[in-house]
Structure 1
Amino acid sequence: MTQAQATPTAAQPAAEFPTANGAFRAARIAFVHSLWHREIVEEAYVGFLEEMAELGFPAETVERFETPGAFEIPLHAQTLARTGRYAAIVGAALVVDGGIYRHDFVAQTVVQALMQVQLATETPVFSVVLTPHNFHEHEAHRRFFHEHFRVKGHEAARACVGTLQSFARLSAAA
């Protein structure tokens, strides 16, 4: 990926990328994740960092933020987007059926709110908010979702970089 602007200063990052409207954002990514099922959800962060490194982004370009649950992620994403310091934001959570059928509402609300943040701020927001149909607290499910979240982190990194590259092309064509 080529730098959109060069000559960094102490206050300016080494690279910036254009948003959909041509404004520039720092080549920093915010990764926001919930603490429910932390040992599983953190695998998305690990996978994200692994793939970002493969794509040429060092770990220090990704800043991590934690929320108590999934429901708090959109407000964090919106607050972070409005600072103008992040080229993109990723939200990650595991929303499980606790037996009261609230999980579908929570997951749908979180994903819709993340889309609203993205559209309102013109900062790309990526979701690794997953809601399995059947999650049980036994080793087989925990192991499966542990691995699955790592894969989803890789996928989110590729989507993030691809989107930033697309914005760079759009800006260059304008």
Structure 2
Amino acid sequence: MAVKGLGKPDQVYDGSKIRVGIIHARWNRVIIDALVKGAIERMASLGVEEKNIIIETVPGSYELPWGTKRFVDRQAKLGEPLDVVIPIGVLIKGSTMHFEYISDSTTHALMNLQEKVDMPVIFGLLTCMTEEQALARAGIDEAHSMHNHGEDWGAAAVEMAVKFGKNAF
């Protein structure tokens, strides 16, 4: 049941002219760090310059929607607007309903955020049943490792910004 990622698009996108925001939760930091690294490495391979990747943090995944909105607004106010943003978080099921509530509300808020910020918001939220699943999806579980999903999010960010961003038309 290994998931292989996005696959190759019909076209290779040049990210050299885009600005990308990554905002990530600090909860589950080892997994988050691997996902952020994967996204950055993939975007760099598509031409995104290091100086054009701006990184911010929030305490946890629940704070991602509000933090993302404020992050996008702040960058625009500074005269350094983003073309795409990747909120990254990890939620791992525990023994209470907390996981379901946070996963559902954060997912819906991030989805609805795209219209509010008028740019692509890449869904970088892992919702896993176990820590082992999260480690595998971050590419850091040697025994059961899948690919790093952060790479997919980086590739999706470049494609969406180039094809559908404000400067695409």
TM-score range, shorter chain: 0.7 to 0.9
SS in 1 for 2:148: helix
SS in 2 for 1:57: coil
C-alpha distance in structure 1 between counterparts of 2:39 and 2:66, whole Å? 21
Please list, as runs of the form range in 1=range in 2, the aligned pairs for 1:56-67 lying within 5 A after superposition.
56-67=47-58
Give 5+ residue unaligned stretches, structure 2. 1-12, 140-144
TM (norm. structure 1) is: 0.74
Question: Shift in Å at residue 98 of structure 1?
Answer: 2.2
- Matched-pair contact (CA < 8 Å) for 1:43–1:150: no
Whether 2:113 is the aligned partner of 1:117: answer yes
Question: Shift in Å at residue 121 of structure 1?
Answer: 1.7
Question: Shift in Å at residue 145 of structure 1?
Answer: 4.0
Give 5+ residue unaligned stretches, structure 1. 4-13, 16-26
Question: Shift in Å at residue 58 of structure 1?
Answer: 1.9
SS in 1 for 2:153: helix
- Matched-pair contact (CA < 8 Å) for 1:44–1:149: no
Residue of structure 2 equivalent to 1:130: 126
| CA gap 1:74/1:65 in 2 versus in 1, 3 angstroms | same
Whether 2:50 is the aligned partner of 1:53: answer no
Question: Shift in Å at residue 150 of structure 1?
Answer: 6.3
Residue of structure 1 equivalent to 2:83: 87
C-alpha distance in structure 1 between counterparts of 2:69 and 2:93, whole Å? 26
SS in 2 for 1:125: coil
SS in 2 for 1:126: coil
Residue of structure 2 equivalent to 1:105: 101
SS in 2 for 1:71: helix
The correspondence for 1:33, drawn from 24, 32, 37, is 24
SS in 1 for 2:87: strand
SS in 1 for 2:128: coil
Whether 2:62 is the aligned partner of 1:71: answer yes
Q: Over aligned residue pairs, what C-alpha RMSD do you find?
A: 2.5
- The structure with the largest alpha-carbon Rg is 1
SS in 1 for 2:123: strand
Residue of structure 2 equivalent to 1:154: 151
| CA gap 1:168/1:79 in 2 versus in 1, 3 angstroms | closer
- Matched-pair contact (CA < 8 Å) for 1:73–1:110: yes
Identity among equivalent pairs (%): 19
State the Cα deviation string for residues 66-92 of structure 1 (Å, max 9, x = none). Answer: 111101111111112224311111011
